[in-house]
Amino acid sequence: MAVNKRIGKQTLMLPSAPTICGYASVAGQKEGEGPLKNCFDLVSEDSYFGEPSWEKAEMKMLRQCFSLACEKAKLSPTALDAVFSGDLLNQCVSSAFSQKDSGIPYLGLYGACSTMAEALGLAALLIDGGYARRTAAVTGSHFCSAERQYRFPLEYGGQRPPTAQWTVTGAGAVLLQNGGAGAKVTHVTFGRIVDAGIKDQNHMGAAMAPAAFDTLRAHFADTGRTPRDYDAIFTGDLGALGHDILQKLFADEGVTLDCLYMDCGVLIYDRTTQQVNAGGSGCGCSASVLGGHILRAMENGVFNRILFAATGALMSPLTSQQGDSIPGVCHAIAIENGGAM
């Protein structure tokens, strides 16, 4: 087999353009009170989703989201050949436990908050390569489980600096198939790790923006496209500050992103009233915005070609305790209506 689906340095072209045949999003109470409240398929009334712990709530949320995507696609989970899933909990247990009874071959990922793009890219490649008929990409995060794992017990009431972000309680699921009607995945640009030397755990936007810059720049160079070839470009969870840093990095190279560039972490909350400081973050941020707002907008023809660039911070509390910096990564997925590339 010749290497015939690679263009430029990092971008993979998917000639068959796998179709998004189903998608869903589930959100927590706070997210359900934000600007995107009408985009989610399901909003929980509290942080427990009817479960006895926040971790079990997160597992339930992922399960619900995956089930909703299957229902909306009118597919039985058994019709899927593989599911790619990952999350922020130690050992990615919310993904594993949410899929443990599905009977679908399971590929666990850890891409931090970039997981939705990594999962979507690999899920699309499996179809385009002729290895699967239908695949799924699922991820999510939960504010309360993340907060106590990464930072402090919630009861402690720790103060948050203005650069801090708020982990989204939310999940997204996307189902892909070979052919049929729906938006299509046309290009995948898997990113390199970029370490800008940022050590402030409360400034993830600054840690991840250079990785987003690196991957988006590679995507444009590889494809010969410019930002204006997209109706919208979404980063995952850079927040308001990371959003500005990314624009500045491009501006320094003479490239204007303008108002076609948005960040899921900025879109999901009303920063003036919801006290989320720099905005949303977490695997569930980009996943719920993709499975809620973005794919609905594509279905309604608001956008016809978008670039989804989820961003991740590859750190742990332990690496920060040991004085390490916070490397970032970003994977970009081009999605468009219609079949033409």
Residues that bind a copy of itself (CB under 8 A): 1-6, 10, 12, 15-16, 53, 55-56, 81-82, 86, 88-93, 96-97, 99-112, 118, 122, 125-133, 178, 190-193, 195, 314-319, 322, 324, 327, 329
Kind and range of the H or E run holding 223: helix 204-223
The first and second tokens of residue 183, run together, are 């938006």
Closest CB to a copy of itself among residues 129, 338:
129
CB of 101 to a copy of itself, least distance (A): 7
What is the spatial distance between Cα 336 and Cα 341, in angstroms, rounded to a whole number?
8
Closest CB to a copy of itself among residues 161, 317:
317
Q: Are 148 and 318 in contact (CB under 8 A)?
A: no
Distance of CA 156 to the CA centre of its chain: 29
Closest CB to a copy of itself among residues 278, 313:
313
What is the spatial distance between Cα 196 and Cα 78, in angstroms, rounded to a whole number?
43
Q: Are 190 and 309 in contact (CB under 8 A)?
A: no
Closest CB to a copy of itself among residues 55, 263:
55
CB of 218 to a copy of itself, least distance (A): 9
CB of 127 to a copy of itself, least distance (A): 8
CB of 74 to a copy of itself, least distance (A): 20
Q: Are 29 and 45 in contact (CB under 8 A)?
A: yes
CB of 84 to a copy of itself, least distance (A): 10
Q: What phi and psi values does residue 42 have, to the nearest 5 degrees?
A: -150, 135
CB of 205 to a copy of itself, least distance (A): 18
Neighbours of 300 (CB within 10 A): 8
CB of 315 to a copy of itself, least distance (A): 7
CB of 39 to a copy of itself, least distance (A): 28
What is the spatial distance between Cα 61 and Cα 202, in angstroms, rounded to a whole number?
26
Closest CB to a copy of itself among residues 254, 323:
323
Q: Which of 290, 319, 317 is nearest to 306 (CA)?
A: 290
Closest CB to a copy of itself among residues 40, 143:
143
Closest CB to a copy of itself among residues 106, 297:
106
* Residue 289 to residues 20, 38, 78, 114, Cα–Cα distance (Å): 15, 11, 26, 13
Distance of CA 308 to the CA centre of its chain: 8
Closest CB to a copy of itself among residues 35, 179:
179
Kind and range of the H or E run holding 241: helix 239-251
Q: Are 23 and 137 in contact (CB under 8 A)?
A: no
Closest CB to a copy of itself among residues 39, 194:
194
What is the spatial distance between Cα 315 and Cα 293, in angstroms, rounded to a whole number?
28
Q: Are 227 and 260 in contact (CB under 8 A)?
A: yes
CB of 281 to a copy of itself, least distance (A): 14
What is the spatial distance between Cα 251 and Cα 260, in angstroms, rounded to a whole number?
14
